[in-house]
Structure 1
């Protein structure tokens, strides 16, 4: 385990440059003291790692240092063999090619056990036990290639985009990064200096432009996504408190825009605070669940569901 950690430490310094002991400890999930001992061990083994003092100091490798660190342990190999997210970014063929190279480089015995283990894991099949299809969206290869190129090259991107309830229009954006959520791919970008988020399945066409994009040199995509998600949920959406039969929980989640909170209920039915696009969307979604869910708030939604149920009951009352 220590050998794997030492390799990871060297790779972190190679890929990220100077890092503090605290940052390395957090990344490797060990104590700062352990990191300092590992640094000493690397230095004693001839790895040119050095310390920089001061407020912005840390540990770094000498410029130009390279070493072959290609050894993969069993779990790392299995992780590569059982992941498939590369296809979401249009990298399916490249991902498959990379896996072939990884497998070919393994020792014969290790190769056989890794392949056997990979056959015993299935990640995100196309449908669940009820034959419901996964919510993934198709993105044309040509569109994905242009978007990916612009994101990686740091150039402006021209997209033909069909927003909800609006005619498709061309717009030029500054791409920042790509994010996948439940098999959907989003482009985080700016337009005229304002944050924008675009779903790739709604792009009818895309074209990488020669002009450099106006964007920072580095970005924290996780933080950027959470900030945009919070703004999206606060912008005219309806928040509903619902109790639901555990057997229909997934059906509830499939109709909601987002889940804010979830906690167990006293009667075994979980209590969820979910967000819908508007009151009509919430009424439609909860009506599909019948008596298997109950909206506890807001009162306006309860009244709307009551009125709809009363109208249906009156229509189908015996003569």
Structure 2
């Protein structure tokens, strides 16, 4: 355990440049006294750790110091092997590179760790291609050439010219400033700005892409997780949202709530059913969600939704009312 901690301490100093004893203690989840003892042990072993005094002082490594810090432990090796089974890398065209990296990692492991880690990884399956009902989970296909251009522009910080087909619109050429890439349930998204405004583009709808030589207008650092959360919030609260008043069997409440964007109000009716006021992304979303609940829910308002559900039920009844 101490050997792992010493390696982690050196890696932290290499990554951050300078850290206080308290900062190191927080990262390593040990006491400051333990950190000081570890610093002494590293110095005794020839690792050039030195202390800087003053208000902004701390511990640091001598500039230019590097050492080979190999020797993955069992859990670290297992984590890498499991990560290699995930399909998320496919969305960014990195599947082949990830597979190659996993081969190199396995080959570099000590033989004892290699057998144990590989055997454990065989007993974990992440994101299989089908669910329990044998429904195939289809990942979106994006041509490698397009992904390669997008990745180059993102990493180089250059503007990107894309031919994009938005929903229900003719494809258009757009010049964007790429910020980063996000994958959600095997769907890849490009986060970018256009004329200073935030934009999110689905990779599967990019028909062509060309990295430009002009530098992108974007911040040097970005918190992708925060950016994605902000855009998700704007997506859920914008557009053609509709509010629906619905009665639902309490046994199907979670099914209803799980498909809605938000629950505005809820109360119990005298017969034990629940009356909820919920919002959906648009009329089509509302109709789809209520149709899934069959007779376990009833849309009370708006009237257009009741009419739409009735017309759909009538069409189904007509189709199956007469024998073929």
Scaled by the length of structure 1, the TM-score of the pair is 0.79
Structure 1 172/11 Cα, relative in aligned 2: closer, same or farther at 3 Å? same
Structure 2 residues without counterparts, runs of 5 or longer: none
Task: Say whether the 8 Å CA contact 1:241–1:274 is kept in structure 2.
Answer: yes
For the aligned residues, what is the CA RMSD? 3.8
3-state secondary structure, aligned to 2:131: coil
Deviation sequence 1:160-193 (CA, Å, 0-9, x none): 1111222111111111111111211111111112
Matches within 5 A, 1:147-296: 147-236=150-239, 237-238=241-242, 253=258, 276-292=280-296
Aligned match of 1:300: 301
Deviation sequence 1:64-117 (CA, Å, 0-9, x none): 111111111111111111113332321111111111111111122221222211
Task: Say whether the 8 Å CA contact 1:137–1:201 is kept in structure 2.
Answer: yes
3-state secondary structure, aligned to 1:204: strand
3-state secondary structure, aligned to 1:7: helix
Task: Say whether the 8 Å CA contact 2:163–2:174 is kept in structure 1.
Answer: yes
Structure 1 24/163 Cα, relative in aligned 2: closer, same or farther at 3 Å? farther
Count of residue pairs brought into register by the alignment: 306
Structure 1 residue 304 displacement after superposition: 5.3
3-state secondary structure, aligned to 1:149: helix
d(CA) in 1 for partners of 2:52, 2:301: 62
Structure 1 residue 3 displacement after superposition: 2.4
Aligned match of 1:86: 89
Aligned match of 1:13: 13
Structure 1 residue 240 displacement after superposition: 6.8
Structure 1 196/58 Cα, relative in aligned 2: closer, same or farther at 3 Å? farther
Q: Which has the larger displacement, 209-218 or 11-20?
A: 11-20
Structure 1 95/193 Cα, relative in aligned 2: closer, same or farther at 3 Å? same
Q: Which has the larger displacement, 133-142 or 195-204?
A: 133-142
